[in-house]
Structures are given as C-alpha cells and as structure tokens.
Structure 1
Amino acid sequence: MSYATSARQAFIDMLGTLDHLAGRAEAAGMTDDVLSEKLTEDMFPLELQFRVAVNQVLLALNQVGGAEASLHEAPYRSLADVRHGIALARAQAERFGPAGWAEADETVDLTLPNGVRFVMSAEADIRDWIMPNFYFHVTMAYALLRKAGVPLGKMDFLPHMKRHSRPRPA
C-alpha cells in the first residue's frame, strides 16, 4: 500500500472521528462556549485543536496531494461551524485520490511560520510531520471534550473500526 493510500484513508477516518466528537458534544447539550476549553493555559483551546487538525489534512493535500486547498484561517464560532469545516476537509480528502499524490521520494520543502525549515521526502512529510501533528490535535480535541463532560469512550475515538467488527466465533 502506498503512503498516499494509507494517509488519505487515515485522514478520512479521523476527520470522521472529529465530526463524531463534535456531534457527541452537541448531543450532550454542550454550548458553543465549549470551544474555549483548554487543558492548560499554554495550550490551544478546543476550537483551535479542531481547526489545526483540519488544516493538517489540507496542508498535506497542498504539499503532496495535488490540491490547492485553502487553509481554515478564521476561527470556528460554533460546533456547527466545526462540523462544516470538517465536512469540507473530508470532501477534499475524498476528492484527491492517491494517484494524484506526489511520488514518495519527491522533495517537500517546508518552512514554518517561525522560520524553521524542513526538507524531506513526500512520504517523510506525511509520516514525520503531518500525521503526528494531525493525531495530536485530534487527541487533544477528544481530551478537551472529555474534560468538559462529554461522555466519550475509546470507541468514540475510533468509530471507523465498526466497519471491521465481526461476531465472535461460536
């Protein structure tokens, strides 16, 4: 399986997780004020955890996926906005199939806003930069919603695993 096939499916699945988490917050009666929740003062609030996770997918599509996707710069103002942003990113991930992605060894030259520069292969960009950041922010969104009182369990982090569920052998 190519890095592109694997990454794309992970993005689609975990964007589904983010949507599921936001939906669980809505179902639990959370107000949009939950978006300001933080684990500690020096960490991003929930809104930015959602937005950065979504933007990691869009950044990947821009860097190696053959897309020209605009990053979500404006803060999400509501859980409905969060879900809309997730849906837009998921549609982008679904639209740009692995065939259009850069070859695994193609060079990616990434300069961060703070001036730090990374030069790596497309595969390394996804494996070493995008995926760890993506999963970090998805995990922080989960943790912040748990902290806020949304009843979440492990399967809420992995709802896509239902497609692999089978009855126990007799």
Structure 2
Amino acid sequence: MNKHYVNQFIKTLTALDGIMAKAAAHADARKFDVNNFMTERLAPDMLTFASQVRIACDNAKITAATFSKNTPPKYEDNEKTWAELRTRIKTTTDYLKTLQEADFTNFKDVKCTPTWAGGQWLKGDEAFYELNVPNFYFHVTMAYAILRKAGVELGKGDFIGGLNFQNP
C-alpha cells in the first residue's frame, strides 16, 4: 500500500459523494425527502444504503491507518440524515489527505487480525489486496446499486469519477 492507493480511496469516496449529490437532485425533482434513501437496501437481508456508506468510509480510514501505523479517527455511526452521511465522507477524505507516502514504508510487515477471524491473521500485503480493497469497492458498489435500483439516473462514469487524461 502507498499514497497512490490512499488517493484512490479519496477519488472513489469523492465519486460516491457526487453520486449522493445526484440522488439528492433526483429526490428534489420528484418532490420526496432524500433521507428516504438512507434505509433503502437491495434485498431484505442486506445492509441499508447508510450502512454501505459508513462501511466504505470505515474501510478506507481503517485500512490507511492500519498500514501507516496510525490510529484512525472514530465515528459514532449515528448519521440520521443525507447531509450527515455526506459529512462523514468529507471527514474521511480529509483524514486520508493527511497521510504521507513515508507513512506506508513497512506496510507488508503489518499483521492484520480482523475481529471476526478468531485470532487468525493476514500479512499486510495479503490483507490489503485480498480483503481491504475488495471490501471497500464492494460497499461502494452496493451503495451505487441501491440508488440505481431506487431509480436514480447514474452511469459508470459516476462510479469511476473524473479521469486525469493527458493531451497527446
């Protein structure tokens, strides 16, 4: 892991915030409360939209903190409104922007022990590539899918976000 991956977390969370802005515009145009999206889910046994966003933010900040050997900021997990959930994304990206390349020099040496793994652990690079990155994108994808299912007009470009094209 290095600063480039942190920047990708920032970019993807920023795209998620843009998706949420589109959802708010969708709700406004159809004259309903955007906060209704907070409890939407794809299936009865799946997590809500709000939970998907919280977990994506937590995954990004905890992953970056773990591999930079820092303590991640703690959040209350009590966002009740669309605005509060968007603030959580901003708070997360602001934290990620404080990390420097030098913070990640020994990330392969980090021993990752997920709370649900019964004491088993993964080496840092294995945890990052096999667990943390897929988990982050899973939850962002679920948030996107929930809004698409709810009728918000979104496309792949909304998910990917802006690209830094170079001129020939």
Shorter-chain TM range is 0.7 to 0.9
Gaps of 5+ in 2: 28-32
**TM-score (structure 2 length as normaliser):** 0.88
Match of 1:164, SS state, is coil
Relative to structure 1, the CA distance from residue 20 to residue 108 in structure 2 (aligned partners, 3 Å threshold; closer, same or farther) is: same
Equivalences for residues 30-41 of structure 1 within 5 A: 31-41=34-44
- Which residue is equivalent to 1:136? 138
Shift in Å, 1:90: 0.3
Q: 2: distance between equivalents of 1:141 and 1:165?
A: 30
2:101 to 63, 86, 98: 98
Shift in Å, 1:102: 4.7
- Which residue is equivalent to 1:10? 8
Q: Which runs of structure 1 show a deviation greater than 3 angstroms over 4 or more consecutive aligned residues?
A: 114-118
What RMSD in Å do the two structures reach over aligned CA positions? 1.9
- Which residue is equivalent to 1:120? 122
Q: Which deviations, in whole Å up to 9, do the C-alpha atoms of 1:22-47 show, x marking residues without a partner? A: 11111112520111001011110000
1:148 to 137, 147, 150: 150
Q: 1: distance between equivalents of 2:155 and 2:112?
A: 38
Shift in Å, 1:100: 0.8
Q: Which deviations, in whole Å up to 9, do the C-alpha atoms of 1:52-105 show, x marking residues without a partner? A: 000001111231123322243423211111110000100111111121125142
Query: Conserved in 1, the CA contact under 8 Å of 2:112 and 2:124?
Result: no
Match of 1:130, SS state, is helix
Q: Give the letter aligned to residue 94 of structure 2.
A: A
Relative to structure 1, the CA distance from residue 10 to residue 60 in structure 2 (aligned partners, 3 Å threshold; closer, same or farther) is: same
Equivalences for residues 54-69 of structure 1 within 5 A: 54-69=57-72
Is 1:47 aligned to 2:45, yes or no? no
Q: Which region of structure 1 is more displaced relative to structure 2, 148-157 or 121-130?
A: 121-130
Match of 2:97, SS state, is helix
Match of 1:54, SS state, is helix
- Which residue is equivalent to 1:28? 26
Gaps of 5+ in 1: none
Relative to structure 1, the CA distance from residue 75 to residue 165 in structure 2 (aligned partners, 3 Å threshold; closer, same or farther) is: farther
Relative to structure 1, the CA distance from residue 164 to residue 71 in structure 2 (aligned partners, 3 Å threshold; closer, same or farther) is: farther
**TM-score (structure 1 length as normaliser):** 0.87
1:85 to 51, 70, 88: 88
Identity between Structure 1 and Structure 2 (%): 26
